[in-house]
Amino acid sequence: MNFTKGEIFHIDKPYGWTSFAVVGKLRYHISRRTGIKKIKVGHAGTLDPLASGVLVICTGKATKRIEELQAGVKEYVAEIKLGATTPSFDLETEEDATYPWEHITREQVEQVLSTQFVGSISQVPPAYSACKINGKRAYKMARQGDDVELKAKTLVVNEIEVLEMEGQRLVIRVVCGKGTYIRALARDIGIALGSGAHLTGLRRTQVGDVRVEKCMSIDEAVDLINTVAIETEEN
């Protein structure tokens, strides 16, 4: 492997890890193995700490491909709780309101998803997100209790389907383009169903042509870095 010339790792990011922490872990071992203190390592497409699944990590000159790689279509499996909301639209914050949900049927969900959430849609990003407002990260402002107003963005949802539904628990599969917040999608689905909703689980199962089944664990990536033959030339 030539980490300076550029390598790409496909990692199955575990629940609880930030994308930045995964980058830091791999950078540490690559730097220690190569002796290069400031080697470039970056990720293509942030995955929230409360989500797991495909995270693409690039090293060296391959970091120039990050924009290209994160533009690929992504697939998620999302678990949603109907009838309750949280300020962050997921489990980062506590439930702040409850709503009737008993009227919601699977047929209604499927009809709403197919008519309102496929194709080009408008979505307001979550206040608890990395979007910037006057140079400040929205999530930092939200955690401080500041008002956060974000503008709606146009994005594309290629496919969306119901995988499971029982009581307040709804599991959906989403295939979408860059910039889609699945937490915000959960919020909007709850509203469209005349209720409320928030994300309780998220797994990114595909990025571009890369399936999660083909990804390495962090430990496997570290083992590879520490045992693989290293090329040091830059061309």
List residues with catalytic annotation.
Answer: 48
| Contact by Cβ (8 Å): 29, 225 | yes
Place of tokens 């997921």: 90
Place of tokens 């199955």: 12
> Which is it for strands 132-133 and 136-137: parallel, antiparallel or unpaired?
antiparallel
73 closest CA partner among 188, 204, 169: 204
193 closest CA partner among 202, 185, 203: 185
* Cα–Cα distance for residue pair 56/34, rounded to 1 Å: 21
24 closest CA partner among 7, 4, 40: 40
Q: How many CA atoms lie within 13 A of 117 on its CB side?
A: 27
* Cα–Cα distance for residue pair 229/176, rounded to 1 Å: 37
